[in-house]
Each structure stands twice: as structure tokens, then as C-alpha cells.
Structure 1
Amino acid sequence: MASTVLTPADLVILAVLAEGARHGYDLNAELERRDVSDWVSVSRPQVYYSLRKLADRGLLAPVVSEGSGGPERQAYAVTETGRSELALALGREDWATARPHQPFVTWLAMAAHTDEASRKRVIEARLAFVEGTIERERHTLETFAAQPGPMVQEASLMIELTIGQLEYERGWLQRVRALLIPKKAK
């Protein structure tokens, strides 16, 4: 079984289920609680698709639970094969070397082709987004760090990095604004 066919969403689901068996509804709630959408795209339908895919590959096994109410209430646990595949996939070097595409940077590469008002609007919107996200992440760090459970240390490190990157971007955006928006347009 080649781990390369496992998507980031599949791996997130395997990682959460490695902590303990869950059904799809509970898994979705846990992903929302952890703000997983901040760092990976996992939709509600994707959870159920991945559960089926991972179970079909033998990486998950159904767990008998009382009151099972259909497929969205079928609990799954990670198999030994699933744990091995997860460890193998998480050992790949591309986790450290891939560069994600950032929509604002793509926009900036083409910004010379728009008018001053549009440039101002987009730059100000990005600044407002960054400011709001910094505040939200600071709040998340405060509340999350006080919670018990697995991966709290790793999550806190992720949030600290995110805050640092956003604070740097805020300063950089102020420079972008100063260079790309003439004083009369401010």
C-alpha cells in the first residue's frame, strides 16, 4: 500500500483516530473544535469519504458501539497497518520542502494590472484580515494551551508560528501599502 495516495485530509483523519475511535459526526466536531480548517482543507463530506477510503484500504476498522445509528455513527479505529501507513507518510521529506501557494502573493504578482482603488481595497482587506486573524489566534492560543489532551504542545507551537508569521506579514503589508498606494489615495 503506497502512502503517497493518502491525502492530507486522510492523514489528519488517521492522526485524530489514532488518539481513539470515533464516528464521523464526532470526528467532524473534533476537527471543528481544533480549528483544523486553519491549516488543512477537510470538509464534512471529505470526512465520510476518507473514512470509507481508509476502511477499504484496511487502515481503519469498524468498532462495535452501542446505539449505532447508521454510517455517520459507525465508529472507526486505526489498525496497525493504518498506524504504519500514517508513520510512513509523516516521515516523507516533502513535508519540510513544499511551498504552499498564497493567494495574496499571487495577486501581488499581478497587481500592476489593476487600478489604484482596487490595489488599495485589496491591501486594506488583507491588512484587516491579518489583524483579525492575529487576535483570533492569540485567543486560541490562550484557550487551547489550557486544555488537556494529546498534541497540545504541537498545536501551541503551530499557533505561535502562525502568530509570528502574521505579525511579520502585518509589518510587510504596511510597507506594501506605502509603496503601492500613492499618498493621495490613502
Structure 2
Amino acid sequence: MPSPLTPADLVVLALLAERPMHGYELNQELERREAQDWAAISRPQVYYSLKKLAQGGEILRAQDAGEGSGPERVVYRVSAAGRRGLMAALGEERWAEQRPPSPFITWLALSGHAAPADRARVLARRRSYLEQELAKERRTLAAIRSEIGPMTEVGALMVDLTIRQWEVELAWLDEVAARLG
């Protein structure tokens, strides 16, 4: 029985469903799309997923890049089974029913044990971090809106949600600072 598809596997499958690519190209595309902001997938995971998906028949070799190019240059494409697996996994309701804990919320839950000066310093650092990220995401949103492509609208919606969440969190931090002093 094949092992279930992980989120990293699904990211790889989705990118290959857009067009055939080799591992190095997949990693470049993930970097271009700033995948670290929306998926937990590393460079080694891309190659692990490629191997797993090839062994499971979800992807097929489209072509080799040439002699001596190494396994990272084998071009893969999604098979019919891979498309079915991707669609089935994305149709699962579990995607809408998870609430992963934020490291900051974990810190907040434990912050009663921190020295008041440390608590104030971490809260100030969170505010600074959010302000920096908010500025970055606003630039990202402007860049996305200037692009044309099948995933442009989805990307814009994702970044817009992040911006809205961080704006709310920044306002909430004022209340946290006031109440926890």
C-alpha cells in the first residue's frame, strides 16, 4: 500500500501539473513563489517527494537533461494517477478543519513565566516583525497584481489574507501590551 501523500508531495504534484520540471527547477519555482510563506517544504523534501512520487507512479519521467546531469535534472510530469491523487487529496475537508498553533501564540501562553522586561521586549519584537512583513507582503501583492497567469488570483488572495491577518494582529498587540503591561 503506498504511503499517503504529504503536503510536500502535493506541492510538488501541483507544480508538475502546471508543467513538467526537474527538481532544481521545482526548487527555483518554489523560491520564486515564496513557498516558505505558505507551505512547509524544503529543498531536500522536493527531491524526497520526487523519488516517492516516481516510485508510486504519480509522476513519470518526461525526459532526461542529458548524460552526467545528475538525478536533479530528470524532468518529471504528472501521470493520470498523480492528477487523480492530487484532486482527491485537495477534495478532503481536513484542509478546512485544521488550526496549526503559531509559535507566537505558544510563547504568549507561556509568557506569564517570563520576566516583565523580556515580555515587553518580545512583544515589541513581534510588532517590529509584523510591520516589516506587512510592508514586504504589500510589495508582493503589488507585484502579483502586475502578473498574468492561472495562479495569479489565488496568489493575490493568499497575500491579501496574510496582510489582513497581520493588520488585525498589530491592532491586537496594542491590547496585549496594555493588559500584560
User: Do they superpose with TM above 0.5?
Assistant: yes
- 2:141 corresponds in structure 1 to 141
Deviations 1:33-60 (A, max 9, x none): 0001001111111100000001100000
Q: Write out aligned runs for 1:112-123 (5 A).
A: 112-123=112-123
What code does the residue aligned with 2:75 have?
Answer: A
| Identity score, percent | 49
Aligned 8 A contact 1:19 1:150 in 2: no
Matches within 5 A, 1:72-91: 72-91=72-91
Pair 1:7 & 2:6 matched: yes
Aligned to 1:40, the other structure's residue is in SS state coil
Q: Which moved more, 1:98-107 or 1:4-13?
A: 4-13
Q: Deviations over 1:92-125 (max 9, x none)?
A: 0010111111111111111111111110111011
Structure 1: 4+ residue segments shifted above 3 A: 65-68
Give the SS at the match of 1:56.
Answer: helix
> How far apart, CA to CA, are the structure 2 residues paired with 1:5 and 1:156?
30
Looking at structure 1, the residues matched to 157 and 79 of structure 2 have their Cα atoms a distance apart, in angstroms, of 28
Listed as ranges, the matches of 1:139-178 within 5 Å are 139-178=139-178
Q: Say how many residue pairs are matched.
A: 180
1:41-80 correspondence runs (5 A): 41-67=40-66, 69-80=69-80
User: What TM-score do you get using the length of structure 2 for normalisation?
Assistant: 0.95
Instruction: List alignment gaps of at least 5 residues for structure 2.
Output: none
Shift of 1:150: 2.2
Alignment root-mean-square deviation, CA: 1.3
Cα offset for 1:171? 0.3
Q: Distance in 1 between matches of 2:65 and 2:134?
A: 42
Q: Secondary structure at the match of 1:22?
A: coil
For residues 147 and 16 of structure 1, what CA distance do their matches in structure 2 show? 18
Hey, what does 2:23 align to over in structure 1? 24
TM norm structure 1: 0.93
* Equivalent residue number for residue 95 of structure 1: 95
